[in-house]
Amino acid sequence: MSNRAAKLTRTYKVLKKHYKPYATTDRPVLEQLLYASCLQGATYDLADEAFAKLQQCYYDWNEVRVTTVSELSEVMANLPQPSASASQLKRTLQSVFESYYSFDLETLKKESIGKAVKQLKKLDGVSDFAVAFVTQSGFNGHSIPVTPESIEALRVLRVISDDEARKGRVPGLERAIPKNKGVEFGSLLHQLGADYAAAPFSPRVRAVMLEIEPEAKDRFPKRTAKKSDTDRPSDSPADAEPDSSSVQKSAVAEASEKPASGKKKKGKATGEVPNPEVADEEPRGDSPEKTATKRLSKKKPR
């Protein structure tokens, strides 16, 4: 047994201790495909709820097809990413309608699994997860559906490399897990991936992953500390002292706006602000030279 196969086997063993397998409901091929759009990135309970709401709120799948993504998102609001799920589901329905002029994919069961899978991959809006899900639940094939969330969990568990995670691949998965265990393992892994994506700092989820791979702690995401007010630089604009020239300008502006005590000073019609120093000056009498001139002018000529 290879190292990867051993890790997948241990993952399966530990997950069975902490999760319960989910029994997939028997549905037509098209509905399995649409259900996969709800399930991707969500738990089984949330996917069941969203899918049931779609069937209750709309008359048939054609009505869903012509409904806007915004309206579908409101119906599927319980999902982690309702807009993305609604868009994928709508695109799938549109592509099925354009390809088959109906909403029935049961004819694919008459084809070989290989040909049926090729037909599904041609449809717009159908993800690799959805294809694998329908292959397993609709065609009874050996293909374990893996979401991006489960891919990330396997990367943290060191089952796959960073490069394989970026490509969204788990090489050797179907060889390590036999077909008669594929449905059970797929449901357990899906639950772990959904829980880890929803709460990556959850002690319970981390405990399960550390039981599988103790060295996974080095790959867990780190919490980012928030900066406090004391960490703010002292030379920030909020703490900087005001410029002296700004203070002087402010003082002059305040003085020009404030009238003299007890008196109102009228400005010119042009809106010119009177000089505060002149405005505050009390009126004075005539100068000594002017007073002397007035006295001389009043004397009678001899």
pTM above the 0.85 mark? no
Residue 223 makes CB contacts below 8 A (sequence gap 6+) with 201
pLDDT band at residue 154 using 50, 70 and 90 as cut-offs: very high
For residues 244 and 18, which has the higher predicted lDDT (pLDDT)? 18
Which domains, ranges and CATH numbers included, belong to the chain?
3-219 (1.10.340.30)
pLDDT over threshold 80, residue 242: no
pLDDT over threshold 50, residue 240: no
pLDDT over threshold 50, residue 237: no
Q: What is the mean pLDDT of residues 19-29?
A: 92
Give the model's pLDDT for residue 228: 54
pLDDT band at residue 227 using 50, 70 and 90 as cut-offs: low
* pLDDT tens-digit map of 78-99: 999 999 999 999 999 999 999 9
Do the beta carbons of residue 3 and residue 171 sit within 8 Å? no
**In 189-199, which positions are buried (b, 16+ CB within 10 angstroms) versus exposed (e)?**
bbbbbbbbbee
Helix ranges, the chain (H): 3-18, 29-39, 44-57, 61-65, 69-75, 82-100, 113-122, 128-137, 148-156, 162-167, 173-176, 179-198, 203-212, 244-257, 276-279, 288-298
* Rounded Cα–Cα distance for residues 158 and 170 (Å): 11
At residue 152, what is the residue type?
E
* Rounded Cα–Cα distance for residues 160 and 154 (Å): 6
Of 186, 221, 192, which is closest to residue 209 (Cα–Cα)?
192
Structure tokens at 206: 């981390």
Of 137, 147, 73, 150, which is closest to residue 105 (Cα–Cα)?
137
Give the model's pLDDT for residue 236: 45
pLDDT band at residue 24 using 50, 70 and 90 as cut-offs: confident
Length of the chain in terms of residues written: 302
* pLDDT tens-digit map of 171-209: 999 999 999 999 999 999 999 999 999 999 999 999 999
pLDDT over threshold 50, residue 2: yes
Q: Identify the weakest region by mean pLDDT among 99-113, 192-206, 259-273.
A: 259-273
